[in-house]
Homo-oligomer: A and B are copies of this chain.
Amino acid sequence: MKFGRISRESPDGPIARLVVVEPEKGRVIDLARAAALHAKATFHAGDAAAVRLAQAQFPGSMAQALANGSNLVDAARTVIEGRFGDEASLPIGDVTWLPASDPPVLRDGLTFIGHIKGWHERMGRDVPESMLLIPGFTKNSASTVIGHDAVVPWPGYITEKMDYELELGYVIGRRGSSVRPEEALDYVFGITLYNDFSGRGLQHNELPIGMGSTKSKDFAHAIGPWITTLDEFEDLDAISMEVRVNGETWGKGNSGGKLWTVAELVAYVSLGEIIEPGDVIGSGTMGGGSALELGRQLEPGDVVELEADNIGVLRTTMGQKEEGLWWPTPRQPFM
């Protein structure tokens, strides 16, 4: 089953709505609307009560909807069955997409051996031994998530080597802490696509500080187009993936060749802290899944499409550079 988020007009302005996505039928189903229709017909709920119950069960926040518990799929299936699903459906081509999740925390792993090799060769760095000891991951800013069909903000301080990263996003469906690998996949609700845009020049300056990437990555994180539930994937190491720029294939491969399994990555992320419903954990970039590895870069106006089997296409357009932003003045050495 596929779940997404769209924006709809309301008397309160645009609001987020949770939808079931049926690409094969060319439609999405507004879950709160279907649930209200269902509650009225089935439980004889009053009009206002039906809306209130439906919005509590299927809020526009994916994080809140998943936090309601493990029954999201069953509950959705019940309310969209038959005519309620039909009555609450919208043509898929007409909707405005929001990020597939609104993650409380957005993290990004580093699991594909091919990318680790390619990145270090291009950046002229050795692969540190630590990468063999513990799964690397970083925390990104969840405030700049964007969805399918969005324009990618391009702050003017990213002056060179603008890049995409072709990644899967593992969406957490259940609250947990210090989960073990053998149970970790029970905490994954589904998989989406994640484009972790990166300014490589600035990243090169940020790395030696040792605190992770900040401004080189946190201007935009594309998540979408929607989430496919985990049961629809036969093999997490054999998901075909591709990235196209302006229609031309720049990278193609699959989700195999991992240094750490999905279960190990999720388990490690959860160690001593809390993974929350709606959290997104990036797989890290697929081997060959960045322009850096090709010695290429993005330009304003470029259309970037990530595609993965069983998910779909996450398409975004690079915006124009925003000039006139403040930038810090270098300090004098003190040692």
A-B contact pairs, 23 of them (CB 8 A): A105-B141, A110-B209, A117-B335, A128-B209, A131-B208, A132-B330, A133-B205, A133-B328, A134-B205, A136-B209, A136-B211, A137-B214, A139-B139, A139-B141, A139-B212, A143-B275, A144-B272, A155-B271, A157-B272, A211-B212, A211-B213, A260-B331, A271-B325
CB atoms of B272 and A134 under 8 A apart: no
CB atoms of B273 and A141 under 8 A apart: yes
Interface residues of A in 267-304 (CB under 8 A from B): 267-268, 271-276
- Expressed in whole angstroms, the Cα–Cα distance for A205 and B128 within the complex equals 9
State how many copies of this chain the complex holds: 2
Picked from B113, B144, B271, B327, the residue with its CB within 8 Å of the CB of A215 is: B271
Interface residues of A in 309-335 (CB under 8 A from B): 325-328, 330-335
B residues near A144, Cβ cutoff 8 Å: 272-274
Is A253 in the interface zone, CB < 8 Å from B?
A: no
- Expressed in whole angstroms, the Cα–Cα distance for A129 and B335 within the complex equals 11
Given contacts A205-B130, A272-B218, contact A211 B137 (CB under 8 A): yes
New A-B contacts (6) at CB < 8 Å, excluding given A127-B335, A134-B206, A157-B271: A110-B211, A139-B214, A143-B273, A144-B273, A215-B272, A259-B334
Interface residues of A in 192-240 (CB under 8 A from B): 205-215, 218-219
- Expressed in whole angstroms, the Cα–Cα distance for A330 and B214 within the complex equals 28
Is A178 in the interface zone, CB < 8 Å from B?
A: yes
User: Nearest-CB distance from A30 to chain B (Å)?
Assistant: 27
Is A153 in the interface zone, CB < 8 Å from B?
A: yes
CB atoms of B276 and A132 under 8 A apart: no
Is A264 in the interface zone, CB < 8 Å from B?
A: yes
Is A140 in the interface zone, CB < 8 Å from B?
A: yes
CB atoms of A219 and B332 under 8 A apart: no
- Expressed in whole angstroms, the Cα–Cα distance for A29 and B25 within the complex equals 57
B residues near A275, Cβ cutoff 8 Å: 143
Interface size range of chain A in the complex: 35 or more
- Expressed in whole angstroms, the Cα–Cα distance for A291 and B133 within the complex equals 26
User: Nearest-CB distance from A108 to chain B (Å)?
Assistant: 8
B residues near A212, Cβ cutoff 8 Å: 138-139, 210-213
B residues near A136, Cβ cutoff 8 Å: 209-211
Which of A153, A268, A273 counts the most chain B CB atoms within 10 A?
A: A273
Is A135 in the interface zone, CB < 8 Å from B?
A: yes
B residues near A122, Cβ cutoff 8 Å: none
CB atoms of A272 and B153 under 8 A apart: yes
Given contacts A133-B330, A210-B210, contact A325 B142 (CB under 8 A): no
Is A52 in the interface zone, CB < 8 Å from B?
A: no
Is A181 in the interface zone, CB < 8 Å from B?
A: yes
B residues near A120, Cβ cutoff 8 Å: 335
Is A180 in the interface zone, CB < 8 Å from B?
A: yes
CB atoms of B331 and A259 under 8 A apart: yes
- Expressed in whole angstroms, the Cα–Cα distance for A330 and B110 within the complex equals 15
- What residue in chain B is nearest A136 (Cβ atoms)? B209
- What residue in chain B is nearest A333 (Cβ atoms)? B132
- Expressed in whole angstroms, the Cα–Cα distance for A178 and B215 within the complex equals 11
- What residue in chain B is nearest A203 (Cβ atoms)? B210
